[in-house]
Amino acid sequence: MRLSLSARFRQLDPIIVGVSLGLLILGLVVLTSATAAVAVQRTGDSLFLVKRQLLLGVLPGTFLFFFLALVDYRIWKRYAFFILIGAFALLLLVYVPGVGERVGGSLSWITIAGLRFQPSELVKLGFLIYLAAWLAGRSQTLLRDRRESLAPFVGTLGAIVLLLVIQPDTGSMTVIAGTAVLLYLVAGAPITWFVGMVAVGAGLFWVLIKTSSYRAARFMTFLRPELDPKGVGYHINQAMLAVASGGWLGLGYGKSRQKYLYLPEVEADSIFAVMAEEMGFVITLLILCAFGALVWRCFVIARQSKDRFGAYLAAGVGIWIALQAGLNIGSMIGILPITGVTLPFISHGGTSLAVTLAAVGLVAGIPKRM
């Protein structure tokens, strides 16, 4: 019997839906406060960036969330290879004159029909779908075969990493590579392979630092934030000052001082610092618990799924959100280098928010197919 639309909505995982909705609303609230000053400076409209987030992130993201939640997720397994080809095509489009656009020193945006978006965000979900399908199609024996498993995995991931390095987009590269390698381990790859890939990744990271004066300066600032506080160390020092100023209970909503053009990128990777400054440690900890609940639920769904493709999808989305949130927050409190990744659900960025909502929507619909 075909279920009504309302009945299908009720079958969606309530924790995924509820926590995602809560984080989405929180993101708009935080964004409204954090971006008021910089939006006035740039456009004269204090709500300009919030309106953009609603138009380019919330609206398409909400549609994608429910569309992917209500459609049988198993259909994407059939098209996984074509999705991978599409991911490569998007990464190559940035090099097409008139389509690719350089923003902030990185050739990582494309503009089509007046719509500008970051293809690496779409690749996060597209490559995850392909990887989940690829892993689901291999037995545990094949997963431990170097020629049948390790070689194609490293080759495909390496090609994506190379295209992201050339742009360069270190943040997206770290999230995509980290998610893929951890999911590969979860699927059953030998721990020795995992250690080897981490070692290779660390070596690549070191090469990137040595071959880029900008990355080298950022890494040295991470090790010693007090160096060059008015130059390359300015960002991390202002971020840590904002977080520390919040104390236990925060300065109060709308009362951040660092957002008044002292802290760079308040709408993007620095938004956590503004949130901590205004809301304090206690509220910020509760927000981190919400992220933890979302990630935990993804892993619960993965464990309960009778379908390996669904299990790898859910686990992959959980790893992705945990890794990206960890990289963003870690960089703002000085325990990780600044990579420029956004805080899921909170930071400004239409492509990032829409793709994140699409990913969690995909997971929300898995339980009703079990």
Given this model, what pLDDT does residue 85 score?
Answer: 94
Residue 274 in tokens: 């503004």
Look up tokens 């719509």; give the residue.
Answer: 115
Strand pairing partners for 112?
115
Mean pLDDT for the chain overall? 87
Question: pLDDT, tens digit, for every residue of 106-116?
Answer: 778 888 777 78
Question: pLDDT, tens digit, for every residue of 153-170?
Answer: 999 999 999 999 888 788
User: Is the model's pLDDT at 119 over the cut of 70?
Assistant: yes
Strand pairing partners for 111?
116
pLDDT confidence tier of residue 312, bands split at 50, 70 and 90: very high
Given this model, what pLDDT does residue 230 score?
Answer: 63
CA 360 to chain centre: 12
**Higher-scoring residue by pLDDT: 320, 2:** 320
d(CA 49, CA 15): 29
Q: How do 100-103 and 115-117 pair as beta strands?
A: unpaired
Q: Minimal CA–CA distance to 85: which of 112, 123, 42, 120?
A: 123
Question: pLDDT, tens digit, for every residue of 38-69?
Answer: 999 999 899 999 999 999 999 999 999 999 99
Q: Minimal CA–CA distance to 64: which of 370, 305, 366, 353?
A: 353
pLDDT confidence tier of residue 328, bands split at 50, 70 and 90: very high
Given this model, what pLDDT does residue 2 score?
Answer: 60
Residue 58 in tokens: 């919330």
Contact 249, 286 (CB under 8 A): no
pLDDT, mean of residues 10-31: 92
Given this model, what pLDDT does residue 218 score?
Answer: 62
d(CA 49, CA 38): 9
User: Is the model's pLDDT at 310 over the cut of 90?
Assistant: yes
d(CA 208, CA 173): 12
Given this model, what pLDDT does residue 212 score?
Answer: 65
What are the residues whose beta carbons fall under 8 Å from the beta carbon of 267, sequence distance 6 or more? 31, 34, 35, 38, 49, 347, 348
Given this model, what pLDDT does residue 28 score?
Answer: 96
| Segment among 203-217, 229-243, 349-363 with least mean pLDDT | 203-217
pLDDT, mean of residues 80-103: 87
Look up tokens 């934030």; give the residue.
Answer: 225
How many other CB atoms are found less than 10 A from the CB of residue 353?
Answer: 27
**φ, ψ at 74 (rounded to 5°):** -65, -15
% of the chain surpassing 70 pLDDT = 90
Question: pLDDT, tens digit, for every residue of 213-240?
Answer: 666 556 666 656 665 566 566 778 888 8
Given this model, what pLDDT does residue 146 score?
Answer: 78
pLDDT confidence tier of residue 295, bands split at 50, 70 and 90: very high
Residue 141 in tokens: 């024996």
**φ, ψ at 116 (rounded to 5°):** -105, 130
Burial classification of residue 8, based on how many CB atoms lie within 10 Å of its CB (0-12 exposed, 13-18 middle, 19 or more buried) = middle
Cis amide linkage into residue 168, ω under 30° from 0: yes
pLDDT confidence tier of residue 140, bands split at 50, 70 and 90: confident
Kindly compute the dihedral angle of the four CA atoms of residues 329, 333, 336, 342, in this order, to the nearest 10 degrees.
30
The secondary element (H helix, E strand) that includes residue 102 is: strand 100-103
% of the chain surpassing 90 pLDDT = 50
Question: pLDDT, tens digit, for every residue of 167-200?
Answer: 878 888 899 999 999 999 999 888 888 888 888 8
d(CA 214, CA 181): 27
Strand pairing partners for 100?
110
What is the pTM (predicted TM-score) of this model? Answer: 0.92
pLDDT confidence tier of residue 139, bands split at 50, 70 and 90: confident
Kindly compute the dihedral angle of the four CA atoms of residues 284, 288, 289, 293, in this order, to the nearest 10 degrees.
150
pLDDT, mean of residues 69-81: 92
